[in-house]
Amino acid sequence: MQRTDLKRLNDADQLIREIATDLGLEFMPQEFDVVPAQKMLEIMAYRLPVNFSHWSFGRDYEIERTKHEHGYAVPYEVVFNSDPCRAYLMDTNPFPIQVLVMAHVYAHNDFMKNNRHFQNSRRDMITTAATAAERFRGYEEHYGIDAVERVIDAGMAIQWNIDPTEHIHRQSEDEVRQRLYGWSRELAPSGPYDDLIPDRPKPTRNQKRALQKRTPPEPTPDLLGYIINHSPRPLEEWEKDLLSVIKSQAQYFLPYRQTKIMNEGWATYWHEQIMQRLFQKRFLTAEEHGYYNLYNARVKAHHPRNLNPYLFGYAILKDLEDRWNKGRFGPEFEELTDAYTRDQWDTGLGKGREKLFEVRRTHMDWFFVDEFLSREVVENLDLYLYLEREHPSYYEVVVAETEWQKVKRILVQSLMNSGVPRILVTDGNYRNSLQLYLEHAYEGLPLQDEYARKTLELIHYLWDRPVYLETNEPYNDKTRGKLYAVDESGVHVRTE
């Protein structure tokens, strides 16, 4: 890229910053690095500008590269929740696309600065990952690539089995025990409704004695953390380091997963607003406007086999803004049966923008979709649930459900816990012999069997003693219990 272009990009940056501020966005200092395509694809595959080596990143790099080389051109954007906020631009993109990405990034920046789920992230993750990568290379040299890889394989398998709210109540096992003894309270009494919270029944002597030995003292979703701290293998320090880095990166990326639809919808909503202003100001030419339209349409395209978060989040936000502008919410509106009145309903409330800013501060996808996905959006987007029908040598993908309430119910269910099955560690000393007992908090969806087996094998590699997983599965219109047991001889399954 030539200097002049860089100058024009800086002009664009300045202008976008002014417009975004004027529109009410509020962001951390923003930095853009212009990088070659290969570096861009690498960052996308490795999830961070510099990260440790692993074949799965290599695989993703190859997938990205193939897509890129086959002209599956999208306005690549990568932005990190760091302070200052770091984003990357691909040097081969045409200028209007760079501007589009920059506008988009400023909105992400605003979202990450203000959404409460991003508030506990390590905003130094870029440098942390780079130094970890350096350490990992040392481990590879010292302990061998294969040994390092096996631990990373296992760690990545359970990277999402962490406690999403760990930052709120980080407690040691002893602290948890004390809380359970009733010696300390989980939350200091501070609200007007505190008297409504029932006191926990005081544990008996025997219960206390049992509690003293039980580990974890209460079931925890932090499987990865539990293994790091309690594996009887035992884990070497370098192995713990590998796993801890994986855990901290998972924690860092968790808010992205939890807010993917909102975050992309938000950025798309705002880049359109900002771009409009730029065109009004004649900063971009008519030809560049054409480019922008083409790419913007690609960003918001329908995807037949997955929900495009850019389109979906954008549609809900637009709808939300419209509804709060016109007062189309609340029982008075919801209970309207006359289609015409419903269609024409407008109280002139004018609180659309205000509502948008409020929602971006408090929500994550699960609640966002549950609360705000309306019949109009489902029907305007022609949202559907598809299923795969089995044929002798292939699966046929069929539109199975379009009725808005059914589609919404299943969609919301799939967003719960950002789609990760909740696995709880209930006993780390099962049968008093350091065996690991896990329970799947079954909520109607069974575990995918092949993936469960392979994941359990990887957990067993880290734990080294037998590992059990209790779950349920649908069986003849009912539910039956299912127990996985893993030891050196492999995975065994017992059903009730």
Partner 1 sequence: MAVVQPDYSSTPRGKTDAARHRRKVKEAIHRNLPDIVGDEAIITRKEGQVVKVPIKGVKSYHFIHGQTAGEGGGFGSGESQRGKVIGRRPKQGQGQGGKPGGEPGTDYLETEIDIEEIIQMMLEDLGLPNLRRKEVRETVIPKGWTFESIERSGIRPRLDKKRSIKEAIKRTEVLIGALMEQTGRAEEECRRALVAAKGDSGVARELLQSEEPLPDTSDEPEYLLESDDLRYRTIREDVEYQSNAVVLAMMDVSGSMGTMKKYFARSFYFWMLSFLRSIYRTVDIRFISHTTEAKLVDEYEFFHKGESGGTKCASAYELACELIDTEYPTSRWNVYPFHFSDGEDWDPDRTVEAAKTLLAKDPAALGYGEIQTEYSASVLMKALEQGLRLQTYQNDGFLHYEGTVNQTPVLGVILRTRDDLYPALRTFLKPDRV
Between residue 416 and residue 455, which ones bind partner 1 under the rule CB under 8 A? 419-421, 423, 440, 445-452, 454-455
Secondary structure (DSSP) of 214-283: -SSSS-BS-HHHHHHHH-SSPPPHHHHHHHHHHHHHHHHHHHHHHTHHHHHHHHHHHHHHHHHHHHHTT-
- 356 vs 423, beta carbon nearer partner 1: 423
Among positions 47, 65, 122, 277, the unique one binding partner 1 when judged by CB under 8 A? 65
Closest CA to 269 of 320, 307, 306: 320
Options 134, 332, 346, 388; binder of partner 1; rule CB under 8 A: 388
Residues in contact with partner 1, counted by CB under 8 A, come to a total of: 89
CB of 449 to partner 1, least distance (A): 6
Place of tokens 């692993």: 54
CB of 438 to partner 1, least distance (A): 10
Strands 435-440 and 423-430: antiparallel
Question: Of 305-344, which residues contact partner 1 (CB under 8 A)?
Answer: 305-308, 311-312
Residue 419: Cβ-neighbour burial (10 angstroms; 0-12, 13-18, 19+)? middle
Quote the least distance from Cβ 133 to partner 1, whole Å: 9
CB of 6 to partner 1, least distance (A): 6
Annotate each residue in 147-176 with x if it binds partner 1 (CB under 8 A) or - if it does not, as one string. ---------xxxxxx---------------
Q: Smallest gap, in angstroms, from Cβ of residue 421 to partner 1?
A: 5
> How many residues are listed for the chain in this entry?
496
Decide whether 133 or 336 has the Cβ nearer to partner 1: 133
> CB 411 → partner 1: shortest distance, Å?
6
Determine which helix (DSSP H) or strand (DSSP E) holds 467, and give its type and residue range: strand 467-475
- The single residue among 18, 21, 22, 55 that binds partner 1, judged by CB under 8 A, is 55
Site for partner 1 in 67-106 (CB under 8 A): 89, 91
Quick check: helix, strand or coil at residue 31? strand
206 binds partner 1 (CB under 8 A): no
Q: What are 489's two structure tokens? A: 């001889």
* From 281, 302, 353, 406, residue interacting with partner 1 (rule: CB under 8 A): 302
Residue 418 has phi, psi (to 5 degrees) of 40, 40
Q: Looking at 128, 414, 429, 479, which residue binds partner 1 (CB under 8 A)?
A: 414
Among 394, 405, 476, 489, which residue sits at the site for partner 1 (rule: CB under 8 A)?
394
Q: How far is the CB of 386 from partner 1 (least distance, A)?
A: 6
Question: Is 9 or 243 the residue whose CB approaches partner 1 more closely?
Answer: 9
* Closest CB 27 distance from partner 1, rounded Å: 12
The reply on whether position 46 binds partner 1 by CB under 8 A is: yes
Determine the distance from the C-alpha atom of residue 41 to the mean position of all C-alpha atoms in its chain, rounded to a whole number: 20
Classify 324 as helix, strand or coil.
Answer: helix
Is 472 near partner 1 (CB under 8 A)?
A: no
Closest CA to 239 of 158, 305, 143: 143
> Does 396 sit near partner 1 (CB under 8 A)?
yes
How far, in whole angstroms, is CA 272 from its chain's centroid?
A: 24
Nearest CA to 109 out of 267, 257, 258 is that of: 267
Q: Give the Cα separation of 32 and 49 in Å (integer).
A: 13
The 1-40 contact track toward partner 1, x by CB under 8 A, reads x----x--xx--x---------------xxxxxxxx-xx-
Q: Which of 101, 425, 458, 486 binds partner 1 (CB under 8 A)?
A: 458
Closest by Cα among 72, 41, 35 to 58: 41
Cα distances (angstroms) measured from residue 384 to each of 315, 365, 443? 15, 18, 22
The smaller minimum CB distance to partner 1, of residues 67 and 353, is found at 67
238-297 residues near partner 1, rule: CB under 8 A: none
Residue 387 interacts with partner 1 (CB under 8 A): yes or no:
yes
For partner 1, the binding residues in 127-146 under the rule CB under 8 A are: none
Comparing CB distances to partner 1, the nearer of 30 and 374 is: 30
Peptide bond into 216 cis (omega under 30): yes
Cα angle 37, 10, 115 (rounded to 5 degrees) comes to 80
Rounded to 5°, angle at Cα 42 from 82 and 420? 65
What pairing do the DSSP bridges indicate for beta strands 490-495 and 85-90? unpaired
Q: Pick the stretch among 47-55, 69-77, 196-204, 360-368 that binds partner 1 (CB under 8 A).
A: 47-55
Q: Name the minimum Å distance from CB 163 to partner 1.
A: 15
Residue 8 CA to residue 89 CA, distance in Å, equals 14
Q: Which of 24, 58, 234, 481 binds partner 1 (CB under 8 A)?
A: 58
- Cβ neighbours of 420 (radius 10 Å): 15
For partner 1, the binding residue among 23, 28, 47, 61 (CB under 8 A) is 61
Options 19, 25, 41, 90; binder of partner 1; rule CB under 8 A: 41
Strand partners, 467: 436, 486
Give min distance, CB of 396 to partner 1, in A: 6
8 A C-beta contact, residue 86 and residue 102: no
406 binds partner 1 (CB under 8 A): no
> Which residue stretch of 181-189, 207-215, 290-298, 375-383 sits at the interface with partner 1 (rule: CB under 8 A)?
375-383
Helix axis angle for 365-372 and 309-326, nearest 10°, is 50
